[in-house]
């Protein structure tokens, strides 16, 4: 196996495992809806999001759980296939690994709890960012890395066999 393929799946596993462990710790330690200050700009909270990013469709009546779960399964399959594809460059593989780990972390949460646990709350003066989790960080970093790769002309960096 190409080492960059292994690294991509390792990145996916790291995001997934850190995500589920951190969510389990928050659920065990904080009652739903509570908030604990941690740093001047960071609170640890226990929120649940039945929708997607920024609570999109969170109050849609329940159908969104199945829809977002199906999207996560389909995306995870696509990411896994793209990681293994020989034409995929190393940076893109890492991006797909981060996306895969994030998608699987939020999928497990959605299937096990009916909603995604968000626990990182960033606030500074009047600035507020919606709560998020480690899976969301993996998804965001993967998307940014893909964007950077595309802005660089979509060039792939493959290692000769």
* Residues whose CB falls within 8 Å of the CB of residue 56, separated by 6 or more in sequence, listed in order: none
Q: Measured in whole angstroms, how far is the alpha carbon of residue 150 from the centre of its chain?
A: 20
What is the distance between the alpha carbons of residues 1 and 7, in angstroms, rounded to a whole number?
10
Q: What is the DSSP letter of 1?
A: -
Cβ atoms of 6 and 159 closer than 8 Å: no
What is the distance between the alpha carbons of residues 158 and 4, in angstroms, rounded to a whole number?
9
Is 121 an active-site residue?
no
| Residue 118 three-state SS | strand
- Out of 19, 109, 118, 121, the active site residue is 118
Is 59 an active-site residue?
no
How is 24-40 classified by DSSP, letter by letter?
HHHHHHS-TT-EEEEET
- Out of 19, 109, 121, 136, the active site residue is 136
Residues tagged active-site: 118, 136
């Amino acid at each position: 196996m190409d080492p960059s393929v292994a690294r991509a799946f390792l990145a996916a596993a790291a995001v997934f495992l850190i995500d589920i462990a951190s969510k389990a710790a928050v659920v065990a330690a904080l009652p739903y809806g509570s908030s604990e200050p941690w740093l001047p700009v960071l609170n640890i909270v226990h929120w649940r999001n039945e929708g997607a990013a920024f609570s999109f469709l969170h109050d849609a009546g329940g159908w969104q759980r199945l829809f977002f779960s199906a999207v996560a399964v389909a995306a995870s399959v696509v990411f896994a296939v793209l990681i293994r594809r020989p034409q995929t460059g190393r940076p893109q593989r890492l991006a797909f690994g981060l996306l895969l780990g994030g998608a699987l972390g939020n999928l497990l949460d959605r299937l096990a709890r009916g909603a995604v646990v968000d626990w990182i709350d960033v606030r500074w003066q009047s600035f507020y960012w919606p709560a998020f989790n480690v899976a969301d960080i993996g998804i965001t970093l993967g998307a940014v890395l893909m964007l950077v790769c595309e802005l660089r002309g979509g060039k792939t960096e493959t290692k000769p066999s």
